[in-house]
Amino acid sequence: MESIIVKGGNELGGKIRVHGSKNSCLPILAAVILTDDVCVIHNCPDLTDVSAAVKILEFLGCGVERDADVITVDSRTLDRCDIPEGLMREMRSSIVFLGSVLSRLGKAELYTPGGCEIGLRPIDLHISALKALGADIDESHGKLSCKRNAAFSGTNINLSFPSVGATENIILACAVSKGVTNIYNAAREPEIAVLVDFLNKCGAKIKLKADGTISICGVEKLHGCEFRVIPDRITAATYMAAVASAGGDVLIEDIAPIHLKSVISVFEQAGCSIDVGKSSLRIKSPEILKPVRNVRTMPYPGFPTDAQAPVMATATKADGTSVIVENIFESRYKHVPQLIRLGAKIRVEDRVAVIDGVKKLYGARVEATDLRGGGALIVAALRAEGQSEITNIHHIDRGYEKIETALGSIGADIKRG
């Protein structure tokens, strides 16, 4: 079993580039099949979740070619509407193929992606929205059989929570349709706006209104296009956490600073000095890190739940007590016992984590419990005295491209073992 080995204590310096966004690339790869044409997607990160999406596209009958970070998909040959359980379970976000396969072929047979490390992650909002649009959905023993008897004619959908995945599935189901669908209380994450940009470039008519409503005016047909995936804001946040934790002065390049506002303000609160450029930012760690009070994870533009664990790892260094409240997922503190193994002092009660900063962490063997929790362990290990070994790194490879090479390039002593 591979692991990541970190020897703590090196300050970080120099430049680091952020790869393309996993959470933006995945729905775009699901959307390409709506075009029945060829799409060329640039800046696709080299991650196992992206490989899982490619495998699904190939299984469905698409021609897929990958050349470095460019993925070309020819969906004219798509001829299957089913996705086997094994492929569905390779990644949770395989569920976004539900809307696109159903739209393209009028039926879809797939499996619920199941619970995962950070919570139950039900798909009730996806299902009820598709039913409201007129789909027949039969769920039994984890299998979903979905049918659309006629083209969707549009409706108004009120999401009780602005779910990212449900918003994406509704957009994918309705981009090619016969009527107007409005999504109220839609998710506002940047990945949604980018999915809309991609589809509009393919000929869709989708508007993001100022009040957050998404209005989809169905079109008859889409066409292929060339598109560039946005930078990964969570990887950028993790690199910021790494610099704040290890100490140093690093230029983080190829980012969209506008997507990082809430994250930047938390690191500023911690005393980091941050110079924001057009597509980069320079972060310098302070002599003494200050505690962060009331970091509350919220739907965008609030502080992202995906950055909670890396920020917590940084807060273990603060001179005082930090408080984090996790409002999005019910089990997103699984990294806490692992941080405690490294010497952190953290108490969790329900959704609240209280972190008492400690002067030193100590290298240990720890286990990545989920993707961002794994990122947090690396962030903590960078400042721990001695060597840490992080196991279960398949979680980390889902969302961080060659993290040992990336952090190694700015001075971290980190390798794959």
Question: Which DSSP state fits 18?
Answer: P
| Residue 161 vs 365, nearer CB to ligand UD1 | 161
Q: Is 202 tagged catalytic?
A: no
Is 370 an interacting residue with respect to ligand UD1 (CB under 6 A)?
no
Phi and psi at residue 353, in whole multiples of 5°? Answer: -115, 130
Cis peptide before 301 (omega within 30 of 0): yes
- CA torsion, ordered 233, 235, 241, 247, to nearest 10 deg: -120
Provide the 10 A C-beta neighbour count for residue 223.
12
Query: Which span sits near ligand UD1 by CB under 6 A: 52-60, 80-88, 124-132, 384-392?
Result: 124-132
- Asked if 126 contacts 94 with a C-beta cutoff of 8 angstroms, the reply is no
In angstroms, the CA 290 to CA 319 distance is 6
Nearest residue (beta carbon) to ligand UD1: 165
Which residues pair with residue 5 across a beta bridge?
389, 415
Is 111 an interacting residue with respect to ligand UD1 (CB under 6 A)?
no
Is 177 an interacting residue with respect to ligand UD1 (CB under 6 A)?
no
Is 117 an interacting residue with respect to ligand UD1 (CB under 6 A)?
no
Is 121 an interacting residue with respect to ligand UD1 (CB under 6 A)?
yes
Tell how strand 352-356 and strand 345-349 pair up.
Answer: antiparallel
Among 9, 61, 119, 337, binds ligand UD1 (CB under 6 A): 119
Least separation in angstroms between CB 175 and ligand UD1: 18
The one catalytic residue among 25, 39, 62, 116: 116
Among 164, 173, 176, 243, binds ligand UD1 (CB under 6 A): 164
Phi and psi at residue 157, in whole multiples of 5°? Answer: -120, 125
Among 53, 73, 125, 204, binds ligand UD1 (CB under 6 A): 125
In angstroms, the CA 51 to CA 254 distance is 22
Place of tokens 């379970």: 89
Is 26 an interacting residue with respect to ligand UD1 (CB under 6 A)?
yes
Is 146 an interacting residue with respect to ligand UD1 (CB under 6 A)?
no
Is 166 an interacting residue with respect to ligand UD1 (CB under 6 A)?
yes
Contact residues: ligand UD1, CB under 6 A = 23, 26, 93, 119, 121-126, 161, 163-166, 187, 191, 305-306, 328-329
Q: Which residues are catalytic?
A: 116
